[in-house]
Structure 1
Amino acid sequence: MSKRSDLLDFALLGLLHEGPAHGYQLRSRLNEALGAFRALSYGTLYPALSGLLDRGLIAQSTATGKPVTAAKSAGRNRIVYEITAAGKETFEDAARRIDTAAYEDDGFGVRLAFFGRTEADVRLRILEGRRSRVEEQLEIVRANSSRSRERLDSWTTALQRHGEESTEREVRWLTELIDAERRHPTDPGPQP
């Protein structure tokens, strides 16, 4: 299974942990809230849901509460998905897991979206890992900029500076989140 597929499963279980939803709602919420899935097609979504169904991590019914097999013969009813006990356990295990994917761009955004269901020590380790990864990227950007600055036109130089400033901003933001987490580990998170 690919990292993106694992990430999609985690995101779907996380969304269904909040309550039942049908495919259109899940796709919309993934597209709106989780940048990693902005271009998610139904051709990707429904096979992922099918895999979660096959593994017993989610269940399905119709909006009217009828079993899906009975609803198909009565006409087209919207299928609603909900997380099972096994799905909740799988989601909670994944939320506790810390691996390099949790620090990467797509993985970090998805994990951050579900920090409300993540233990404080895990949140802190993921934030610190992400900051370390972004600091490494910043050093690379700075080194590349200083080596090539004389050869570039003003537009390309401005673009490089923008990238450097954006990365510096992310390091500052992550540092603020880490500091807040250390001060108040039971706090539900930063205020909007």
Structure 2
Amino acid sequence: MRGRSDVLELAILGLLQETPMHGYELRKRLNLLLGSFRALSYGSLYPCLKGLVERGLIVGSDASQTPPPHALSGKRARIVYELTADGKEHLAQILASSGPTTWEDEHFDVRFAFFAQTDAETRLRILEGRRTRLTERLENVRQSAVRTRERLDEYTLELQRHGLEQVEREVRWLDGLIDNERGTRRGTTDGDGRPAGPTTADDAAASQH
């Protein structure tokens, strides 16, 4: 994945893998998935949907065969989108990838949201890559803090400390998830046959003691 459009495409394909949806429902689900700080407008969603349709990855159809009551009012008819066979294959290829971009902040969030559709070995590679990336970041921030401590005011130092704590907390969380994946990658499943869910943040923190 190369940028924000790739993240949006993955999010759309992953959600449609779960169930067909019309644009309004997709927008609500995407806002929940991507977070309110990346809330989507229809201006970004529909061009992406159009591009996916043109590439044959999804198909749209009218929600009903008869005109809705508001048909004469000029309102947009609801189009329900679903994955095509090519779309399912394309999504599977994306979810099987685990390169460096999958460890980055924006990409990791979306990939993690679809871990239930991702095989155990790929999940583990992404989690380990993310941990490595954050560990490197943590060391760089610590070194910078030592070099600049004498020149920073108390508020900047507090912000720096807060940032360090956030990264340290995520590394502990990743440690717990990695331990969980290593224990379940050989086929351990929950009651409905899907991969067992991740440990909680509290579980991850407890595992450090």
Runs of 4 or more, structure 1, over 4 Å off, are: none
Distance 2:166 2:83 in 1: 38
Residue 106 in 1 paired to residue 106 in 2? yes
Which TM-score applies when normalising by structure 2?
0.83
CA contact (8 A) 1:10 1:91 kept: yes
Look up the match of 2:177: 177
Distance 1:103 1:162 in 2: 22
Q: Could you tell which deviates more after superposition, 53-62 or 3-12? A: 3-12
Look up the match of 1:151: 151
Distance 1:36 1:133 in 2: 25
What SS does structure 2 have at the residue aligned with 1:81?
strand
Distance 2:126 2:142 in 1: 24
Residues 133-174 of structure 1: CA deviation (Å, up to 9, x unaligned) = 011110111111111111112111111000001000011101
CA contact (8 A) 2:177 2:199 kept: no
Give the number of equivalent residue pairs: 188
Offset, 1:34: 2.0
Q: Which amino acid aligns with 2:86?
A: A
What SS does structure 1 have at the residue aligned with 2:82?
strand
Offset, 1:96: 0.2
Residue 133 in 1 paired to residue 141 in 2? no
Distance 1:35 1:137 in 2: 23
1:189 to 174, 184, 197: 197
Distance 2:161 2:113 in 1: 29
Residues 95-114 of structure 1: CA deviation (Å, up to 9, x unaligned) = 00122210000100000000
Which TM-score applies when normalising by structure 1?
0.90
Q: Are residues 52 and 181 of structure 1, via their aligned partners in 2, closer, same or farther at CA, if it must alter by over 3 Å?
A: same
What SS does structure 1 have at the residue aligned with 2:81?
strand
Distance 1:65 1:92 in 2: 32
CA contact (8 A) 2:20 2:82 kept: yes
Residue 29 in 1 paired to residue 37 in 2? no
Distance 1:60 1:18 in 2: 16
**RMSD value over aligned CA atoms?**
2.3
Offset, 1:188: 2.6
Q: Any residues of structure 2 matched to 1:1-192 within 5 Å, and which? A: 2-35=2-35, 38-65=38-65, 76-185=76-185, 186=187, 187-190=195-198
Offset, 1:65: 4.9
Same amino acid, percent of matched pairs: 56
Residues 3-43 of structure 1: CA deviation (Å, up to 9, x unaligned) = 22122111110000011111121111111122497232211
Q: Could you tell which deviates more after superposition, 1-10 or 96-105? A: 1-10
Q: Which amino acid aligns with 1:20?
A: P
Q: Which amino acid aligns with 2:198?
A: P
Residues 64-95 of structure 1: CA deviation (Å, up to 9, x unaligned) = 157xxxx89x9742111111111111101110
